[in-house]
Amino acid sequence: MNKTKQAYFELHIAVALFGLTAILGDLISLSATVLVWWRVLITSMSLFVLIRFGKTLKGLPKSLILKFMGIGVLIALHWITFFGSIKFSNASICLVCMATASFFTSILEPLILREKIKYYEIGLGLLIIPGMFLVVQSTGSDMIFGILLGLTSALLAAVFTILNKKFVETTDSMNITFIELTSAWIFICFLLPILFWNDPNLSFMPVGMDWVYLGILALLCTTLAFVLSLRALKHISAFAANLTVNLEPVYGIILAYFILNEGEQLSTGFYYGAAIIILAVFFYPFIKSFFEPKPDLSRQ
């Protein structure tokens, strides 16, 4: 297998692992906030080994570290609302909501990075709205709060992705991830006392299969998926990578259908809405290549 084919293979594994995240969130019995606390703790510990026990962090400016720590707080809130969406609705609905992140990005990226507004991105993002309407219409009122949490999670994902893009060239990606996830863990440590004060009966320790699911979530769906996606980017274009990553909700919904039997909970209207949203996201790279000059692939 040549390096390009291997890169595609590894990237698809990474995207499938990203899609598996929602299923594991449904299977783990812990509340969303406690679940994220364990996830970022285990992931940060594994990354600490990968960055050679902090040696690669030396020399980073304190101002830059503080910026990444702030982004880490946004990531913590993103994951809490992400898993909260799963708990209050289901994995499939959460994944469809996450697909709207591209719509939020099309609006916020020009504002945050002070770039020219790309009207084709906003137009494509608006196509997501009818799909989202179908999803909401086809679900019960008891899942509306889960949908709102999912849309909030997508908004937060758009914001921290844009901020990461702004600062990504300043240091190694592994360093950035370690700082952000460690600060996310510290932030959640401050939230836990409030959480348990409001609900003293809340479970903190994982039980039974929770340990297995958490290990898969942290080590495979986070650390391994991150490493595989970075390795793949060395051998394929950004366009191809973006196109593959857009398959995440597809993989996730398929996995949820077979593993969680969510097909019994969802109507035909949901799948029509999901199809509209996923197609809009999937075709984004093609539309972008039409409106913008093609990149020089020899430099990638």
Residue matched to tokens 């970075």: 230
Residues 117 and 242: their CA atoms lie apart, in Å, by 20
Among 127-131, 140-144, 157-161, 233-237, where is mean pLDDT lowest?
Answer: 233-237
* 136-161: average pLDDT: 90
Q: What is the pLDDT of residue 242?
A: 64
> Mind listing the pLDDT tens digit for each residue in 210-243?
999 999 999 999 989 888 887 787 777 666 676 6
Q: Is the model more confident about 150 or about 229?
A: 150
Tell me the pTM: 0.86
Q: For residue 141, give both structure tokens.
A: 């009122």
What percent of the chain has a predicted confidence (pLDDT) above 70? 94
Backbone angles phi, psi at 164, to 5 degrees: -65, -40
* 245-271: average pLDDT: 83
* 128-133: average pLDDT: 84
Residues 40 and 243: their CA atoms lie apart, in Å, by 27
How high is the mean pLDDT of the chain? 85
Task: Choose the most confident range, by mean pLDDT, from 184-188, 236-240, 241-245, 277-281.
Answer: 184-188
Q: Is the pLDDT of residue 244 over 90?
A: no
CA-closest candidate to residue 64, choices 155, 148, 144, 167: 167
* 4-15: average pLDDT: 87
Task: Assess contact for 165 and 112: CB atoms under 8 A.
Answer: no
Hey, CA dihedral for 122, 128, 133, 135, is it positive or negative? Answer: negative
Q: What is the pLDDT of residue 294?
A: 55
Residue type, 210: D
* 91-119: average pLDDT: 85
Q: What is the pLDDT of residue 300?
A: 37
DSSP per-residue letters across 12-45: HHHHHHHHHHHHHHHH--S-HHHHHHHHHHHHHH
Q: What is the pLDDT of residue 83?
A: 96
